[in-house]
Structure 1
């Protein structure tokens, strides 16, 4: 399949003509589409709370607990998945993860007890989605790109928002008109549909197609498989945890997860429904967040290539906190202009934090940065898991979500301050090479 024109000059002894489009961009496109296809599972939890509460009479706290297990495992699996990708390859890990997601989502249609929701949606989908986490995007970026890493990170991060934009309106329509089971089957089929796409088109390393990483003139041989994936993930965690920077990054990203996946993605739709807004309207607003998330994340990647990542994070968290403080006043039966402004504003900020966070991991931790980011992402999902549960519990206890909106806004202010005190690591040849 590989043409001789893909082989670099260093490998053939003759100068080969350059292809018009570097193969790295093709791999990035495959990764983008894969993440879009896998995004269906992330679009469903907020739509399930009310239907499951009405059908099985489970408390919102119980349903929120299942979502929190999903989110926590999503994060805790990520660093091990990054190490497994170094051991077995990106393609195998991602294909298996998508299959696990499909099985877990499909089994939910037969559940009759809350523990089954925790097992199928919480454990199986959580484990599968953790292997499809942002560590996947970070690994692809680190292997295939030397230049424009911030931009590529932003584009791949935006893929999740693109999937949300595609799937949320469809899933909300299915839930409202046909119940939650067809929506769950749709998630299962979407994950399965991506598996052959990944297996046939994704490649693990530039050396697999005998080319160089984008932005590099030097041919990089494919490294041998790294054994002891679990041991390496733990070793990297122990080493990174001895630095203050790791804890600051983990703390800020935990607040990021709490204020996005744990709060807005999980509880915005039921909170809007409490104010008599139709579920389809609330889901459409989340989809609009996805539109502006794409713009904001790609722009953040561009900014990350040019500006101090610490200051970018401080700005992002401060603006997010301010917007959350206003949200309880904007919820109403109908969508009013102030709510649209919030959705646009929040969408631009949704995962704009990812490119500068990955850049700081790369700057501070070099070759281990993908695994370190996996652990930082674990903190993101643990924060999301805690708020996913506390949000449902607060609704059961207080009869509204207001207290959780205000608390999350205050936490974002704390995250802004934490970002500002992250120290810049003194430049060294190794770090410069890793961050290039």
Structure 2
């Protein structure tokens, strides 16, 4: 692409902001950031410690989340090529909601099977939202898709920052994280509903999605985007 990069990014934002799909993706990805990096990534260890778990044990569980994150992202890339991406997003967020709602009851002084199940499932779901989000950006916004995803990803970071701060305030005011976990579960329900209502392709007035460059698979592109999100 030629021209000033900042001007191009801003012009793309102006075009995308006129479509409801853009704001649906922004809302969903902001909640994604809030319930991963912002909440679990930042507050899982101190919350587990509040329940009597050793910090090193909690840190090990959080590391396990990262391991299963890789598996989940690759599997989600495969599914995105075969399943409606908005359905995938709705399922991912709904599953995340269930996990967060149950987490306060799963934390304990020792590592019991239920918390291991949470860690595995939450890990599989952590960045699984990236491939279907990238796919929807390409499908709805065509050639603008990669830049649109950049703006959508910015909302992920904003959501993470807000959640990290809000959960800390909740802990300071109430002495525990329970309200934060339940609040995040409710947000995931909102994300599931919003994602399920995303309008695809020409129905939203977007240009046809451009195909992947020669020699590049959809899985590879989604994996690259997921790597960026993990960073």
> Could you state the TM-score of these two structures normalised by the residue count of structure 1?
0.47
Count of matched residue positions in the alignment of Structure 1 and Structure 2: 211
Confirm or deny that 1:230 pairs with 2:12: no
Partner of 1:294, secondary structure, is: helix
Give yes or no for contact 1:255–1:411 (8 Å, CA) kept in 2.
yes
Give yes or no for contact 2:139–2:210 (8 Å, CA) kept in 1.
no
Match of 2:227?
none
> 1:344 Cα shift?
0.8
> 1:228 Cα shift?
1.3
Match of 2:161?
385
Match of 2:224?
none
Distance in 1 (alpha carbons) for counterparts of 2:211 and 2:17: 20
> 1:433 Cα shift?
3.5
Match of 1:108?
none
Confirm or deny that 1:413 pairs with 2:206: no
Distance in 2 (alpha carbons) for counterparts of 1:279 and 1:432: 47
Distance in 2 (alpha carbons) for counterparts of 1:432 and 1:250: 19
Give yes or no for contact 1:391–1:404 (8 Å, CA) kept in 2.
yes
Match of 1:277?
53
What is the RMSD of the two structures over their aligned residues, measured on CA atoms?
1.6
Give yes or no for contact 1:367–1:434 (8 Å, CA) kept in 2.
no
The higher radius of gyration belongs to: 1
Confirm or deny that 1:248 pairs with 2:24: yes
Match of 2:76?
300
Give yes or no for contact 1:363–1:434 (8 Å, CA) kept in 2.
no
Confirm or deny that 1:434 pairs with 2:211: yes
Distance in 2 (alpha carbons) for counterparts of 1:426 and 1:247: 16
- Which whole-Å deviations, capped at 9, do the CAs of 1:375-412 have from their partners, x for residues lacking one? 10111111111000001111111100110000000110
Moved more, 274-283 or 260-269: 274-283
Partner of 1:434, secondary structure, is: coil
Partner of 1:290, secondary structure, is: helix
Give yes or no for contact 2:137–2:148 (8 Å, CA) kept in 1.
yes
Confirm or deny that 1:336 pairs with 2:112: yes
Structure 2 residue runs without a partner (length 5+): 213-217, 219-231
Distance in 2 (alpha carbons) for counterparts of 1:326 and 1:272: 13
Distance in 1 (alpha carbons) for counterparts of 2:17 and 2:210: 23
Structure 1 residue runs without a partner (length 5+): 1-222
| Alignment of structure 1 residues 137-156 onto 2, 5 Å | none
> Could you state the TM-score of these two structures normalised by the residue count of structure 2?
0.87
